[in-house]
Structures are given as C-alpha cells and as structure tokens.
C-alpha cells in the first residue's frame, strides 16, 4: 500500500500524493520547478539544487532509470557524488524503466540517498502557483495540516564546495576552478581542452597560485553569501588574471566588478531557455539552474551585457569591453541540455595569459 505524502507550502496550500522515495518526512526547502523533459540524474546531482525541493513539470519521470557509478571521480552520468535536492515532486513516477545505461530505478536511488519523493501531485497547478506567487518554502510531511516551517539559514556553498585543493590533468596551462558547487562536466570541459585544473575551496585565494586563469563555478544560494569568493574575484580583476564565471560564478564576477544582483521571482531552471547574444541576432537554447541574476542597469563603466534572456529580458552574461573577464548565467557545459554554447570554453582558453 502506497503511503500518502503531502507538500505544504508557506502560503498554506497543500498538494497531496504518494511516497516513492525514502521514507522520510519533515524535510523543508525552497520549492522550485524545472521545465526539462530529460536529464534527471544530472539535475538531481547538480550542487546548485542544495536545499531545494524540486518540482518537475514534465509529467512522466523515472522511465529510463538511473545509472550506477556514483563512486567514480568526475562521473559522466552524474554531476557530483550525491543527490543535492532535498525532495522531489512529480506527476507520475514510472516503476518500469528501460535504458541501456540503467542499473536501477529512480525510486531505489532516492531511497539509497535518503531523499523523499512524492508522485501523483498536480504539478501543473503547483507550477502555476509558483509562477504567480514566486518560489516559496515548503515541507514534505504525512500530516497535511502541519504548516510549521523551520528553515534555518546556512550558506549552502559551505556544504557543496571541496575542502581541499584537487588537481586534474597535465596540460601546460593551469586554471584554478573556485568550487562553489562545481559540476563534474565543467571540470571535464576544461580537461578535454588540454588544461591542468586546480580545484580549490570557495573561500581559497586562487590568485595566490601559479595559474593562467580562474573559473568561478556554479553553486547554490545567494551570491552575497560568498564574500570570500567575491574578494578573490576582485583581486583577479585588479591583477588582470583572466576570469570566467558560470551561473553563480557570473553573479560573483558581477558583484566583484561593482554591479548588483537580485532574486528572480521563480528563477530559470530547465534545458530549453533561449538567450540572445547582445548586438547580434544569434540565439542559443541553453541549460539553466539559478534563482538570482545580475542587474544589467548597475554594470559599471567598462562592462557590458553579453547575453540576454529572451523570455524575461534578464541578464544572462557579462563581459569587460577590453579586459579578459567574462561570465554567463547559463551552463555552457550543459549536462543535461544542449551544447550550443560549449564554444565559450574555447573563448576562455583564448584569453589565458
């Protein structure tokens, strides 16, 4: 018999369904939605989802199972070594799965990782509520009238960054990746281009290393919480060290340059988000996962908007007009999603000193 389970939002609304993950309740988190049709193994293991309860708008989930190589360093099937979402909400979970890489069902993975899941939820109504009212806190519980929400603050980057310096590759040029919750594919994208990568903690001063450039990675939460990382980015700009920011890294670069950031109403999460390169008619379909953005109107002299979101016209990238500093809000490494903007890694390499 399936156990009834509920998602209770901070506005008092309740969405009911049945448990298909770990038998855990009382989990709280920011409730957000993702519009992607595929790519759930990669999405669930993206550290940018730390502390969030994820709603998938695509109605059928689990039909191609999950692969089985969590133990592998820089796995090609997962973006980190664990699931980072706090909970999962879907319309219909498929008990039957079939794929040549599948080793077990999604439900098995959620149970192994201690992540609760609810299926049978009216995700269309839930997503509409989040679009109208914005993202909000939520709780997974077996008691629908349990509206107590304890959401203690903690800088999420602390839980997803590496604790020590790690080295990858053997290229002649060395790039420091400031790990705010870096996805595996970002590291692999650099290694595939012949670089030596030094992965450092989020609060490590990467400018002290013998490097040719710095990449500020993706990650969860409010960029203002990453004060040490912003300080490093400021030093990189002052020293003229080529820098590339991705997602949270783009926001950190913007703050270091003197711009401001703001929280989006419900964020951009999916693999189908159109972005245009400013000053051109080139549009790219991008993979995205973020809840904050740089305010284009606050960019200081010497900086310009590079990409713009075609859905809401928010900033999707910044760059300096003459110096080697650039960032994008979307994910050029994809995984999941289209690889249309992978060429940006080549542009970064072209800037290395």
List the catalytic residues: 247, 331, 333
Return d(Cα 86, Cα 50) in angstroms, integer. Answer: 7
Return d(Cα 153, Cα 169) in angstroms, integer. Answer: 37
Three-class DSSP category at 18: strand
Residue 71 tokens read as: 């133990």
Q: Using N-to-C axis directions, what is the helix angle for 227-239 and 248-257, rounded to 10°? A: 60
Q: Which residue intervals of the chain are DSSP H helices?
A: 40-44, 106-113, 123-133, 157-160, 184-191, 227-239, 248-257, 343-351
In this structure, the strands spanning 196-201 and 4-9 are unpaired
- For residue 312, give the H/E element and its range: none
Taking every pair of Cα atoms in the chain, the longest distance, rounded to a whole number of angstroms, is: 64
The whole-angstrom distance between residue 20's C-alpha and the CA centroid of its chain comes to: 24
In the DSSP assignment, the letter for residue 2 is P
Backbone region of residue 182 per phi and psi (left: phi > 0; alpha: psi in -120 to 50; beta: other values): beta
Three-class DSSP category at 71: coil
Residue whose C-alpha is closest to residue 156's, from 233, 48, 247: 48
Residue 117 tokens read as: 């899941």
Return d(Cα 178, Cα 198) in angstroms, integer. Answer: 8
Q: Residue 175 pairs with which residues in a beta bridge?
A: 197, 213
Location of structure tokens 């080295």: 167
Residue whose C-alpha is closest to residue 288's, from 313, 262, 267: 267
């Amino acid at each position: 018999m399936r156990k009834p389970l509920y998602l209770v939002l901070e506005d008092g609304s309740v969405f009911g369904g049945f448990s298909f993950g770990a038998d855990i309740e009382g989990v709280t988190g920011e409730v957000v939605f993702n519009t992607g049709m595929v790519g759930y193994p990669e999405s669930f293991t993206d550290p940018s989802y730390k502390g969030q309860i994820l709603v998938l708008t695509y109605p059928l989930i689990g039909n191609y199972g999950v692969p089985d190589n969590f133990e592998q360093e820089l796995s090609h099937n997962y973006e980190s070594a664990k699931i980072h979402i706090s909970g999962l909400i879907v319309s219909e979970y498929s008990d039957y799965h079939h794929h040549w890489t599948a080793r077990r069902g999604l439900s098995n993975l959620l149970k192994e990782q201690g992540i609760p899941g609810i299926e049978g939820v009216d995700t269309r109504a839930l997503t509409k509520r989040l679009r109208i009212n914005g993202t909000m806190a939520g709780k997974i519980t077996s008691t629908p009238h349990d509206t107590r929400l304890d959401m203690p603050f903690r800088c999420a980057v602390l839980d997803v960054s590496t604790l020590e310096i790690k080295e990858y590759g053997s290229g002649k040029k060395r790039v420091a990746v400031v790990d705010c919750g870096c996805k595996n594919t970002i590291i692999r994208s650099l290694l595939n281009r012949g670089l030596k990568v030094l992965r450092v903690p989020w609060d490590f001063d990467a400018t002290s290393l013998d490097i040719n450039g710095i990449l500020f990675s993706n990650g969860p939460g409010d960029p203002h919480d990453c004060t040490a990382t912003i300080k490093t980015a400021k030093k990189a700009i002052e020293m003229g060290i080529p820098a590339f920011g991705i997602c949270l890294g783009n926001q950190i670069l913007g703050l270091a340059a003197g711009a401001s950031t703001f929280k989006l109403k419900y964020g951009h999460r999916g693999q189908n988000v159109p972005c245009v390169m400013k000053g051109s008619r080139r549009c790219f379909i991008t993979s995205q996962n973020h809840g904050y953005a740089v305010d284009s109107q606050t960019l200081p002299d010497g900086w310009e908007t590079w990409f713009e979101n075609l859905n809401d016209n928010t900033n999707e990238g910044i760059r300096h007009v003459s110096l080697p500093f650039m960032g994008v809000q979307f994910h050029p490494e994809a995984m999941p999603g289209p690889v249309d903007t992978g060429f940006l890694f080549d542009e970064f390499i072209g800037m290395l000193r």
